[in-house]
Structure formats: structure tokens, C-alpha cells
Amino acid sequence: AGVSSQTSGSLSSLGFLYLGVSYGLVNSDQGYYVFIGLILSAIGDVMLLSLQPLHFQIGAFFFLLAHVMYCGAFITAGISIKWVLMSVVVVGPAAIIVYKYVLPYTSGLMRKLVITYSIAISWMMAFASGSYGYSGKAWLLAAAFLFYVSDLFVARQQFIKRCFLNSLCGLTLYYIAQLMFAMSPAIDF
């Protein structure tokens, strides 16, 4: 079961890249950032196939870079500073709660990575909200939110408690989010 699930996960990541090209992601500045985010996420997916802590750290770093690319996509499309600031009021306290919940299970480099990653994904949510406030289009805000929540399940799985529910929810939300990012040029809401 491990090899087939690993293969299907890798093929899914490649599928998102194919969809992105098919839907024209590479034909706009915003799409370019999203496409690079999908590539970085695919590399992260491959790294997370291993249960080795170093591979998890490398994979998390690639996902962190993907979130930075998604931030670039939102900024490039235009953002409402008002919406960014309103989002920070919500996302900031949520990040602090996650810190308090996850950080006791981390140390050293992993602790620094968790803090940096949490900041990056929180800014991704803030900029996604800002993009929504600017354009009124909810599709990418929804994708960013699903990615954010999927990462909460990943953190719980990696640091708190390993269980099937974490994997099921985390992977399902993550794959839906990536699909939404890949299809974003074709969706106008």
C-alpha cells in the first residue's frame, strides 16, 4: 500500500502541473507565481514520501517557498491593504494558538522551521484575503484557506498524534487546494 500511495501522490502532483499548463497558468504574471508554487509543492510532496525527519524538513522548506510564491501571486493580482490588515487580525491570533499547540513538540532547527513556516502561511492567508478584497474573487482565497487548514492536519500528524484522520483530512484538503490553484485561470469567481 505504501508504494502505490506514494506513486499516486507523485502522479497527483504532476497532474496539477499538467492542469496548470492546460488552463494557462503560465500565460500571466499571477499564474507564473502559482505555477512555480505548484512545482515547489510537488518537490515538497516527493520529500514527504519519506518518514525521515530530514526529508520532512526539506519538504517543509519547499512548501514554505510555495507559500511565498502564492503570496507573490496574490500581490501581483492586486490586493486591498484594508483586507490584508483585517485578515492579520484573524490569522495572527490563529498562528499564535498553533505556535502554542505545536512548538512544545519541536526543538532546534525544526522549531525555527515551524515558526518561519507559520509566518509564511499566515501571510499567504492575509494576502489571499487582500486579493479577494481587491477583486471580489473568492476562488483563490478558498484555495489558500484549504491549504492552510491542510497544514494544520500535517502539523498535528507530524508533531502531536499520528492517526488516519489527520492524513485523510490533510491530504484531501491539500489536493483540493492544489487543484483549485491549478485551475484558477479558468475560474472567474
C-beta separation of 160 from 150 below 8 A: no
Q: What is the pLDDT of residues 86-118, one digit of tens each?
A: 999 999 998 898 888 899 999 999 999 999 999
From the centroid of its chain, how far is CA 67? 6
The model scores a pTM over 0.85: yes
Q: Which of 121, 17, 132 is nearest to 70 (CA)?
A: 121
C-alpha cell at 90: 484573524
pLDDT at 1: 44
Our CA dihedral for 129, 145, 97, 46, rounded to 10 degrees, sits at -130
Q: Is residue 154 a contact partner of residue 117, using CB atoms and an 8 Å limit?
A: no
pLDDT in tens, 125-153: 999 999 999 999 999 999 999 999 999 99
Residue 99 is which amino acid? Y
